[in-house]
Structure 1
Amino acid sequence: MRVPVKLLGFGFWLFFLNCARCQECLREDIKHENTEPVEKASYAHGEIVKVNCITGYTGLYRLNCEKGEWKKSIERPCAKRRCSHPGDTPNGDFKLIKGTEYLFGTTVVYNCKKGYEMASRINYRTCRAQGWDNAVPVCEVVKCPAIRTDWEVTASGNTEEGRYGDAIHFECVSSDKMIDGNSDIRCEETGKWSDAVPKCKVPHGSSNTAANQKLCPDLSVENGFIYSHSFNKEKIFYSCNTGYKPFTGNWWDSVTCSKGSWSDEPRCIRKEDCGALPSVHHGKLIHRDRETAEVECDPGFISTEPFIKCTSGRWETPVCKEVRCGIPPNVENAVITSEPKEFYLPGSTVTYICRSSYLMNEKSTVFCQSGTWENTPTCQGQREITCQSNGEWSSPFPKCEGKHTEAVTCELKSTTFGVKKIKPEEKNIFRAGESVELTCSEKYWFLGTKETSRSFTCKDNGEWDYEPVCAEITCETPHDQHVYYPSYSFSGDKKRGAKKSYRCESGYREMAEEATCTRDGWTPKPLCAVSEKCGPPPGVNDADTLEITKKEYNTGERVEYSCFNKYTLDLRPPFSRYLTCEQGEWRGNIRCLKPCTVTVEEMERRGLELAYANRQKMFAPHDDHITFMCQRGKVSGGVPLRQQCNDGVITLPECVRQ
């Protein structure tokens, strides 16, 4: 009776084991398109897995394993990432290679307009996972060679560097001669002039050119008007209505009468756009689209309008208005204790202190607001002074006449601010010629210097040879140290001991996490050091970069790799999908794991065939599975029919006859 009981228990154990396995959810059953493989090959009942989209796609799936089946709790199908507008180029346009939207993998090709040529080496941009690669190409106007004439011919126009559409007009120096050839030529889109430089010749049968000059017919300009002429004898000038321009591209043009016919037909064509962006004093413009540009002003300036528009073929005029303040106001009988600056941005402050024998009102600091100084202080002195019996004045500034001239003195009232030591001690009044040695406190130095100890001498006029005032040690904004946006990073407190987080410009690296204000300025010195550049990223077996590579990379820039030929990126540490430029060297590890393949010959030799019911293929990426089945009349020889690929290696089962 014991044996059957044991067999029954073993049977129950097998049943529960198989039941537990039947509740597992398999990675191979996740069939969502454009997704990366999940981490594990199988998941237990109740586990939740996040399925990410492959590079270049955006979306998300969150799946719950419920009794062997995947249930979706979040479903955002993977769709190609979308890029912003690729950017317009002045005097050119672009077109999509295929499709109508800016999606991952889409390429736009730029072409220059008539009369312009591509100055950039690369004329296309591709939408990548991180946005558009390459820079917006640049179209430059076609130029024609300089014009050279002999002494008999004069030329008017841009003769040194003609551009597409420019016209040159020729005339003879002598009124007895006439132009032999075209009197007007134009710079064409090929970079050549429309005709050769003419010569001057004597007219046949007469020495008077004007007498033989034939009249040209009257002219009219469609969508334009003639605004000057020479009675149809020599030359007329014309311009175009709003929204149109001469076909040469200038805002005006002219045609010349020669031998009874005009040199060309005046034509006005519709304006396609406003052309290149205008320059901005104290700022720059950034293209947003064909009709709008953003105004970006320099620090200390603000735009009256954040955007300008293309209206009637012309850009609106951008203005960057100065909001920084000029030189601080002069306060009578006071000196400035703040460190002088090159310019003062809104919010900047300047502190004053009154001279000896003067008192300050409640205001001691002025501040910059909207380009003007606010809160100006005043210093008031004593209204009466008395010549005392000892020959000294009650206030040091006036001089005593006659026998009291030797009693001129200087007073140390202003030295209490920031002073640590006075030598000789406990003395505030000094006669002319006497000196005093002062030492400023730890965070102060003498106004206008970087000295903390020095001697001061009383002069004959009752003034010190140098103002004995200690001012707080401050550090100037490091405009010349390649700090990114220093006026913002180093705003506020810049006194000794102040610390500022900062970032360096592209191509430079931070020498410390924070900059510290010291007597010698901001430390460390320098704040930003030149970053060593990396060359093109190295090649990796069975992989390539996703973006077009550059010749040079700065520290911190990185490139992303992708495997090909069914290989799989190894994302387990220390491997990743990126290499990073660090001080002239590429850091990181890229490895592509081999897929597994199975041939028909191998399967036939082992009595196998693919389990097509499970939609398996004859290859599997790393960590994926291939499920086999035995041919009719054969059974498994012991090795499981479902095998996992491990970096190109897969164990093939074998089926034997029953």
Structure 2
Amino acid sequence: MGRDNAGKKVQYEDRSQRWRMEIYPIIVSLILGLNTLGSSNAAEEDKCGVLPIVLHGHLKVTIAEQSAEIVCDPGYKSLKKSIKCDKGTWEPITCYVDEEGCDSPTRVENAVIISKPQERYSSGSHVTYKCHIKFRINGNDKVFCRNSAWDKAPTCEGSSICPPPPLIKDGDYFIEDKKDEVITKVSYSCQSYYVLKEPKKHYSCRDGIWDTPPECLNPCKLTPEIYMEYNLQPVQDNYTRHSDEEIKLYCKKGWNAGGFQRSDYVKGTCSDGKITIKKKCETKNIGINLG
């Protein structure tokens, strides 16, 4: 507070107070801002970037995110188990060929490898073989890689699984037993009037080979000419079955086989479709008048 030339009171500005209230805070803010910017830049410099690409492998970031676990592909290995990030830069890493590992496994004819395929296999790893249908594996299905070489691979032998049962002419088979949906035992029967030759109850498959199937022997057909020539009664459907024993063929009404007994039938044979009749019904019956 003071007076001017006219003697009036004048209020002077307190410059030191203005410095404290206005200028000083601005300067302090600028200084603090510069310090913060510097710290931020330093943090950015220390921050790790994207994980590097690893040929024949990959990396897994650890919880701290300042190191990464090295995972090499099968058949490859690294001298380190992990790498670190130093000032924003990851350490270099290489997965190189494991000299004790193996290349692709041996190819086996009539088989497939059901294990997941790999470019290279580590020592101690294995693959599994599986034979095609109708083939049986001979040897171990699992083959191991040991010291840069594969163990001996198996082979697949044919005819290990039974093929479908053999068909027969004029007949059919009936399934009696199965194993893993493969038919292993059957029986046979023939069509009407046909007869099995030397039949067995069952026919089996062993080691991929079936028992020899039976045959169906043909029936014998009696034609109108045969009926007329031998004076015979017609038989059902005009067929008679094959038989190792003699068959009876009856004479038609009014006729007999002659001789002392005057039999009303004659004997014959039927052998696989060929009929043989030993005698004809050649004598007419003579009525006896008792009156």
TM-score for the superposition, normalised by structure 2? 0.36
TM-score for the superposition, normalised by structure 1? 0.19
Say which structure, 1 or 2, has more relative contact order (CA 8 Å, 6+ apart): 2
